[in-house]
Each structure stands twice: as C-alpha cells, then as structure tokens.
Amino acid sequence: MPRAGLTAAAVTEAAAALVDEVGFDQLGMGLVAERLGVKTPSLYKHVTGQTDLAHRIAILAMNQCADAIRDATQGRAGTEALARGAQAMRTFVKAHPGRYAAANAARPTGPDDPLIDALNRVVDSWAAMLHGYRIDPDQQIHALRMLRTVLHGFASLEVAGGFQFATDIDDSFTWMIDFIDHGLQETTATPTTSALSPAGPHRA
C-alpha cells in the first residue's frame, strides 16, 4: 500500500479548504483525514492535535490575507490604497470564511508565535495605507485601530450572515469605506472641536 506522502503543510491546506466549505465550527480530525484519504490517527504524525491544526490554519489564513492586501495596494497611496486594500480584504474573507474564522478564534501561544508575525503583516499593510493621509502622529494609532475595527467588523458580520438583506451589501461596503476616506482627509484638513470631548480628535 503506497503512502499518502503527507506533510504538516498539506494537512493544514486540506483542513483550511474543509473549513471554508463546512464552517470552522465543523472542523474535525475525522473529516480532515477522510478528505486526505487517510485514517484519523495518521494525522497525529504531522500535527500534535486539533488545537495545533486550528492554529496552523489561522497562520495560513493571516499570511494569505496579508499577501492579498499587499498585492492589491502595491504602489498605491491614500484613497486608492484604502479602497483597494479594503476590497482585497473583503474578497479574501468571502472566499475563505472558514479560515478567517479560524484566525479570529486563534490565540497566540507565546511572544514568538508566527501567528503574531502574520497578524503584524496585515496591520502593517493598513498602517502603510494610512501614510497617504498625513495624519497627526498622535492620532495614527487611533486611525489604525478604527481601520482594523471597520474591516474586521464588516467581514465578521458578513461571514456570519449578520446582514439581513443580502442586496446592497456591496453598496454599504463602498459607502462605508468612502465615509472613512472622507473623514480621514478632514482629520488633517479641518480643525474642529468635538462634541464628545473638550478637545476633540479632529484637531490638526
């Protein structure tokens, strides 16, 4: 009987494809093994267990997501980079809902977890997109967190089927990104006082 010739990476790929189809919460060693034409215990020669496998899917997902964003924003800046980066992110998540869910569920195991590097690659891409906006350095961190919040929030809600009417969702997304874009431009252009805090964040 010939061998399957598996490897940790191959198992991870198969599992990632699986969760994209059946949902992350349906991940099981049995299903992965079946898909690879192998018996369940064989998987343990390549991954230490289901937890490890989920963690590997998360790393794969974040790196692929980072690649997609990088490719989409290469050589662009400001508004255009934001629009393309955001679209790339959303497209990736819609195409790979299961591995995105895995990425959200994963927790770094330590300070040198490759998952952290992968996450940082994504965040760095967004930080780069913001450079085109000449934002006050003090506000960079807040703008970056808002970007993460918005992109993660939208992807997360959409994947979870959180939006009632499937129609118009594309419109809502571009509307939202446009809203952010306008606001970011005003952040530097128009000193304003805030109604929420005495000296609002929109000051230049």
In the complex, which residues of this chain contact DNA (CB under 7 A)? 1-7, 27-30, 38-42, 44-46, 48-51
174 is an interface residue for a second copy by CB under 8 A: yes
Output 39 or 145, the one with its CB closest to DNA.
39
203 is an interface residue for a second copy by CB under 8 A: no
String of b and e for 111-128 (b: at least 16 CB within 10 Å)? eebebeebbebbeebbbb
Q: Choose, by CB under 8 A, the member of 22, 25, 44, 48 that binds a second copy.
A: 25
Output 7 or 193, the one with its CB closest to DNA.
7
What is the rounded distance in angstroms from the CA atom of residue 63 to the CA atom of residue 119? 8
What is the rounded distance in angstroms from the CA atom of residue 19 to the CA atom of residue 165? 25
Output 52 or 80, the one with its CB closest to DNA.
52
What is the rounded distance in angstroms from the CA atom of residue 70 to the CA atom of residue 189? 28
Burial class from Cβ neighbours inside 10 Å (0-12, 13-18, 19+) for residue 179 reads exposed
Question: Smallest distance, Å, CB 41 to a second copy?
Answer: 24
153 is an interface residue for a second copy by CB under 8 A: yes
In this structure, are residues 175 and 183 in contact, taking their beta carbons and an 8 Å threshold?
A: no
Residue with tokens 């940082």: 120
Q: Choose, by CB under 8 A, the member of 7, 9, 95, 175 that binds a second copy.
A: 175
Q: Which residues bind a second copy (CB under 8 A)?
A: 25, 79-80, 83, 104-105, 107, 139, 141-142, 145-146, 148-154, 156-157, 160-163, 165, 168-169, 171-172, 174-183, 186-187, 192, 194-197, 200-202
